[in-house]
Amino acid sequence: MTDIMADLTWREAINQVIDEDGLKELTQKKSISLYCGVDPTGSSLHIGHLIPFMVLKRFQLAGHHPVIVIGGGTGAIGDPSGKNSERVLQTMDQVQANKEHLTAQMEKLFGTENFTIVDNYDWLSKLSLLDFLRDYGKLFNVNTMLNKEIVASRLEVGISYTEFTYQILQSIDFLHLYKYNDVQLQIGGADQWGNITAGTDLIHRQEGADAKVFGLTIPLMLKADGTKFGKTAGGAVWLDPERTTPYEFYQFWLNQDDRDVVRYLKYFTFLDRAEIEALAEKVATEPEKREAQRRLAQEVTKFVHGEQAVVEAEHISKALFSGDVTALTAEEIEQGFRDVPSVDVTADKANIVQWLVDTKIEPSKRQAREDVTNGAITVNGERIREVEFELDPTAAFDGRFVIVRRGKKRYFLARVK
């Protein structure tokens, strides 16, 4: 079989491993099942979730069987996050709705063959309090639990018993999956190491010291400037195209720093070593062409949103760069102009000077007349030079939008209501 561990090592995708030699030997001998968990705390995954999912996908492509646990049970109580506060408990209706959205997103990433999604609510909800304390609580040492990094970081400000027990519930997940789904490996972010080792310890206590179970964590993903990967000025980058459009998603990857792009190519794409090394050479010799960034944007956008989304994102990018917006569809405008200043307008025709002032694109009639006369105003890709020009808001883009550009780069979007 493919040497998946060697590939992950080259891609700098391994932080810590429980019995690395044993895991390498096992994965070269046979196909294994492995899992990663995600709690339904929101209605969409974001690119931070791609960090463990890319490793899961690589195992899948190498012939192994990924399992994702949607934490309908653990999500109802919340894990002790790195933040100095308790998570807000969600209603079960919220958890269920989020679970359905996340399931659809993950099936898009992993397909439906050689892939399993389970919900830990199915087994955790059957545990009585007495069973939990007798069968599992007895096997966990409080001193050991307190020393887990994710718990220790919260002790100064306080942590509830509910969140404190999260690592026991996650350990029960691993035990259940080992017994009933033949799962031998759990993967997670660097902050999950304590929870993962707690799970392997529980399995060894329950099933015997010779049980072959492993854990693997992924390095903390930091940008070259030391800040956390995946955050932008506008917040998280979501996989839901309604929250982060495919164009915005594409632009996020296209705008990565030269210092980060090769590492991201290794981690977030399925390009082979030869192509990535060739792109790394381009970064070193011709960084101004940003060929590596473009390839990164293409590959990750294709993986998450499909090939057509790449075509549309590049079409929008080309139109905005050239200023020729006439070929854009109304749907592409919805994507590409989400972050530009916008205003609602009526469908009524109006004099261009008055319209520019009414929409506050221009501060005064004097400035509006001057900009029109000087050719600084384009409407829907057409340069306007006549101050008597009558603007029809429904003339283009299915009657939904008017795109105004003032000067070379300042865009405005009018939404026709």
Catalytic residues, which ones? Answer: 41, 46, 49, 83, 87, 170, 191, 228, 231-232
Q: CA triplet 267, 268, 271: central angle to 5 degrees?
A: 85
- Tell me the C-alpha distance between 268 and 261, whole Å: 10
In sequence order, the β-bridge partners of residue 414 are 343, 402
Using alpha carbons, select from 402, 395, 396 the residue that is nearest to residue 416: 402
Neighbour tally for 353: CB within 10 Å: 26
Instruction: Give the Cβ contact number of residue 344 at 10 Å.
Output: 9
Known binding residue 170? Answer is yes
Backbone angles phi, psi at 256, to 5 degrees: -70, 150
Q: For residue 340, give the DSSP letter.
A: S
The Cα–Cα gap between 28 and 24 comes to 6
d(CA 186, CA 189): 10
CA dist 358 and 268 (Å) reads 46
264 annotated as ligand-binding: no
Q: Hey, what are 114's tokens?
A: 């050689």
The span from the CA of 202 to the CA of 310, in Å, is: 45
Tokens (6 digits) for 275: 């192509």
Q: Is 166 annotated as a binding residue?
A: yes
Determine the residue type at 229: F
Residue 139 near residue 82 (C-beta atoms within 8 A): no
Question: Does 136 count as an annotated binding residue?
Answer: no
Calculate the alpha carbon distances from 194 to 17, 18, 22, 187 in Å. Answer: 12, 11, 20, 12
Tokens standing for residue 256: 């990565």
Q: Are 125 and 73 in contact (CB under 8 A)?
A: yes
Please give the annotated binding residues, written as ranges: 35, 166, 170, 231
Please give the annotated binding residues for L-tyrosine, written as ranges: 35, 166, 170
Please give the annotated binding residues for ATP, written as ranges: 231
